[in-house]
C-alpha cells in the first residue's frame, strides 16, 4: 500500500494558479490622458514610449501603496469589490512592458493567482472573471486601454 502523503501531487488546475498573471495594456484611451503624455514627452525631451511606460508604472506604484487610514491598497479593494470576499489581500504586483508591432506597452504582473486571507495566507483562487474585472477597473481609473491577461509560465 502506497503512502498518500509521499505521493502527493498538486491537481493540474491548482498548478495554473501558482503562475504569475500578466495584464496587458495599450495606450491611453482618452484625449485628456493622451495630451498629458504628449506634453510630458516634450517637456522631458524623451520618447513618447518612455513617458507612456513611466507614467503607467508610477500610477501602479501609487496604487500598490497601502492607504494611510488602513493596511489595504487599491488592489486589495478591487479584490474585495470583484470577488465578494471580505478581508482579502492581493498578490504582490509590479510593472514591466511588452513589445507589440515594434512599440513597448505597459503590463502589470500579479505574482500568482491566489487571493490571500486576513492572515495573508494563500486561500482563494483568482478566477479569470475577477482578473478581467480588475483589468477593466484599472482601464477606467488609469485611462490606459486594458487588452487582455495571460497566466505566464515564468517571468
CATH assignment of the domain containing 23: 3.30.70
pLDDT in the model for residue 155: 57
pTM of the model: 0.85
- What pLDDT is stored for residue 146 in this prediction? 97
Rounded distance between C-alpha atoms, residue 47 and residue 102, angstroms: 14
pLDDT at 40 over 70: yes
pLDDT at 9: 47
Number of domains in the chain: 1
Q: Is residue 87 part of a domain?
A: yes
Domain membership flag for residue 139 = yes
Amino acid at each position: 500500500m502506497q503512502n498518500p502523503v509521499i505521493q502527493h501531487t498538486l491537481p493540474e488546475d491548482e498548478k495554473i494558479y501558482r503562475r504569475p498573471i500578466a495584464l496587458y495594456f495599450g495606450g491611453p484611451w482618452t484625449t485628456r490622458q493622451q495630451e498629458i503624455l504628449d506634453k510630458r514627452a516634450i517637456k522631458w525631451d524623451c520618447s513618447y514610449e518612455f513617458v507612456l511606460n513611466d507614467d503607467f508604472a508610477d500610477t501602479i506604484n501609487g496604487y500598490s501603496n497601502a492607504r494611510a487610514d488602513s493596511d489595504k491598497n487599491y488592489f486589495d479593494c478591487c479584490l474585495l469589490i470583484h470577488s465578494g470576499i471580505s478581508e482579502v489581500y492581493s498578490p504582490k504586483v509590479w510593472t514591466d512592458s511588452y513589445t507589440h508591432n515594434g512599440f513597448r506597452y505597459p503590463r502589470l504582473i500579479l505574482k500568482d493567482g491566489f487571493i490571500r486571507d486576513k492572515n495573508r495566507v494563500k486561500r482563494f483562487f483568482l478566477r479569470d472573471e475577477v482578473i478581467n474585472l480588475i483589468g477593466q477597473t484599472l482601464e477606467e481609473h488609469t485611462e490606459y486601454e486594458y487588452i487582455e491577461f495571460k497566466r505566464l509560465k515564468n517571468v
